[in-house]
Structure 1
Amino acid sequence: MIDTEDDCAEWTFPAEPGAVRTARSLVRGRLRDWHLDSVDDMAALLVSELVTNALRHATGPIGVRLVRPRPQDGVLRVEVSDTLPDPPRARAARPEDESGRGLRLLACAARRWGTRPADPGKTVWFELAVPR
């Protein structure tokens, strides 16, 4: 685990169900340390969704990285990496479905989001606007 108090925080989790709760807690804690309480709920929710997707569809470690906003841009960047190279796909969830809404939630809540290849796998990233 790498955890810096400066401009970036990174963690790696085993592909186990407890990773979701731990990731959510660490993200909240770091954002509060950075005095970014205004986005900690949404960031934690979106990280939960992406880590859950990684657990369901990939194997191996899951990485979470936060990049602190610079004063001039006011944007928090969050990245979740896993070992599956395939980009995530949005599904059309029915009202009774228990899953399938994570990417739609991400698309609605994030300022921007996307994916990029990583070695191994991929990184799904999103940005949240931070009120100034």
Structure 2
Amino acid sequence: MTTVDEGAGAVVLDVPVDAAIALSAVRGHLSAALRDLGEDHRYDVLLVVTELVNNVLDHTPGAGHLRVLRHASLCEVTIEVDDSSPVEPVQGRSRISDTRGRGIVVVHNLAREWGTRPCEGGKTVFALVACPDGGDGCGLSPSATT
């Protein structure tokens, strides 16, 4: 697991996604790196990360790659997950079971913007989880603003 400080408040988490990934460790690492975000906003970011990583594990062959980028606006966070499948995610439908298939619906509801773009051998699914009401610095925990 690699975290790189890119200046201007940006934080990048860069980890491979495969069957051995410990999502609880990834969430713990992200919680620490994003501790100054408001609790609800941080939870939204962690939920989007979990859904996108699980989609790679459940719906694509092989492995993937997760990147989490913290923007200079303090509370905007972009999640990107590369995978080896050209198949686009589908909202509300799962080939695994009738009780599944709501992960992209969750991402759609939590992200200001989400989508896909082709990458070598597959695609990148991305989601931008913005400040709760769109402003700079909103949603920060009280200790981060003092």
TM-score class normalised by the smaller sequence: 0.7 to 0.9
The CA deviation at 1:17 is 5.4
2:69 matched to which residue of 1?
Answer: 67
Letter of the 2:60 counterpart = A
RMSD of the alignment, in Å? 2.4
* Percent identity (aligned): 31
**Paired residue for 2:4?**
4
Pick which of 37-46 and 12-21 moved more. 12-21
Deviating runs (4+, > 6 A) in structure 1?
none
CA distance in 2, matches of 1:31, 1:78: 13
TM-score by length of 2: 0.73
The match for 2:31 among 24, 28, 34 is: 28
Q: Which runs of 5+ in 2 are unaligned?
A: 138-146
> Structure 1 22/123 Cα, relative in aligned 2: closer, same or farther at 3 Å?
farther
Aligned residue in 1 for 2:107: 106
Q: Which residue identity lines up with residue 31 of structure 1 in the other structure?
A: L
Please list the CA deviations of residues 14-69 of structure 1 after superposition, one character each: whole Å capped at 9, or x if unmatched: 4115443333233222222xx22442211111111111110012233321112212
Match of 2:53 among 51, 54, 58: 51
**Residues 17 and 53 of structure 2 are in contact (CA less than 8 Å); yes or no, is this contact kept in structure 1?**
no
Moved more, 6-15 or 82-91: 6-15
Larger Rg computed on CA atoms:
2
Partner of 1:79: 80
